[in-house]
Amino acid sequence: MNAISGKGRTGLPAAVIWGYVATLIFMVGDGLEHGWLSPYLIEHGLTIQQSATLFTAYGAVLAIASYFSGVLTEAFGPRKVMLAGLLLWLVGQVLFIEFGLKDQNYAWMLPTYALRGFGYPLFCYSFLVWVTYRSPERIMATAVGLFWAAWSGGLYVVGSYFPAYMIPKIGYVGLMWSAVVWVVVGGLVGILVVKDDGIKRQGNSKEKLKSLLSGLTICVEKPKVAIGGIVRIINSTGIGALPIFFPLYLSSEYGFTTEQWLQVWGTMWVANIIFNLIIPYISDRWLGWRNTVMWVGSFGCGVMTLVMLYTPQFFGNNFWAMITVGIFFGIILCGFVPLTALVTSMAPDQKGSAMAVVSFGAGMSYFIAPAIVGAFIGIIGVHGVMWVFAGLYFLGAVLMKFMTLPDEEKQNESSYLMEKQTS
C-alpha cells in the first residue's frame, strides 16, 4: 500500500502513475476496433453514410458522458464514476457483438455501440479530473501529458498494432471479445488505486445539481473556458474522422491494405506518445501553453492534414512516405496537450467544471467528425472534407489568440500604461 500511496520520481503520487497504467490498458480494449470497424462494416453491406451515422451516435453519447465526467467526479468522487463507465462499456460491448456485429444487424448496432460510448469518458476523464487536483501546478502540463500519452498509447498504438497482428489469428469478432479482457483488467486496476481524496465534494442534492450545471454556467462566467472547449473540439475532429473514410480512400485509390493503414495509424501514435512527454515539458519551461497550442497544435495540424492528403498523390503507394507523414502528424498533435492545463488555470477554484467543458469538447469531436464526413463526403469528396478539417485547425489557431492567462493580461496592461506614460 505504501508503494501506491507514495510518490514516484516524477513528483506525482504513485497512485496517479498506476492510474496511467490503468488508463492505457482500458483504452487498448476500447480502441481495438477504431482503425478497422468502418471499412469492415462497409465491406459487409453498410453504406459509408450508415457507418458515419453509427459513429455519430457513438460520438453524441460520448460527448454527453465527457461533459458529465468532470462534474460527476466532483459530485460523487472518481471511483463511483469510473465504475459506472466500466459497467456501461461492458454492457454495450457484449450486446453490440452478440446482437449487432455477428448478424450485421444495424438496428442493434446503433443503440448498443452508442451505449458503449459512455464507457471511456466516465472512466478516463474522471481520473483526469483527479489528476488535475492531485498534481502540483509546476508540473501540471507534464502530468496531463502523461495521461494523454497513456490514453493514446492504449487507444491508438496498442489498439492498432494488436489488431494488425491478431486479426489473421482470431478474426474480427474474436478481437472484439478480447477487448473485454483488456477493459476488465484496466478497469479493476483503476478502481483499486484511485481514491476519492483531493477533491472538494458537494454534500446535499442541491449542491450536486449546482455542480452538474456548473459546466454550463462557467462558460458564461468565464468565456475563455468556452473558447478552450471549442479548441478542444477542433483538436480531435480531424484526426478522429480519419479512420472513418481515409483507409477506404487509400485502399481504393492507391492500393493500401488495412494492415498497412493500421501500421501507419499506430506509428503516428507511437510518435505522439514519445513527444507527449517532450512537448509539454518544453511548453512548461519555455514556449508557454498558449503559444504551444496555437502554433504547434492548431496551425501545425492544419498543415499536416493537407500533407497527409497530398502525400499519396505525389508518392503513390509508398508505405514509408505515409509512415513518415504519420510520425510528423503524431508529433505535431502533441501541441494540444497544454490546453487542459491552460483551461483549468482559467478557473482554479472550479477545475472540475472547467474539465467538464474540456472533456465535453473532446467528446463532441467524435460526434462532429463523423457528422461532417456523412454530410459532405458525397458532395465534396475526400479532398473537400480534408480541407474542411484543415480549415477547422487553422480556426483553432485564431481562437487561441484570445486565450491569455490573467498574468499575461496584467503584463500587457502594465506595458500599455508604461508606453502611454512615456509617449
pTM for the full model? 0.77
**For position 411, what pLDDT does the model report?**
44
pLDDT score recorded for residue 21: 95
8 A C-beta contact, residue 53 and residue 42 = no
Contact between residue 32 and residue 181 where contact means Cβ atoms under 8 Å apart:
no
Q: Do 388 and 376 contact (CB within 8 A), yes or no?
A: yes
CA triple 13-406-216, angle to 5 deg: 75
Q: In the prediction, which pLDDT does 238 show?
A: 92
Residue with cell string 454534500: 203
Q: Domain spans of the chain? A: 12-202+211-410
77 neighbors 199 (Cβ within 8 angstroms): yes
In the block, cell 477506404 appears at: 248
Q: Read off the C-alpha cell for 144.
A: 496531463
Using alpha carbons only, what angle is made at residue 28 by residues 52 and 234, rounded to the nearest 5 degrees?
45
Q: Sign (positive/negative) of CA torsion 162, 269, 12, 23?
A: negative
* Low-confidence stretches of the chain (pLDDT beneath 70): 1-11, 196-212, 215, 406-423
Residue in 319, 269, 11 with CA at minimum distance from that of residue 136? 11
pLDDT at 1: 38
Hey, what's the cell of 56?
455519430
The dotted CATH code for 12-202+211-410 is 1.20.1250.20
For cell 491494405, what's the residue? Answer: 257
Bridge partners of residue 178, in order along the sequence: none
Element (H, E) at 423: none
Cβ atoms of 241 and 392 within 8 Å: the answer is: no
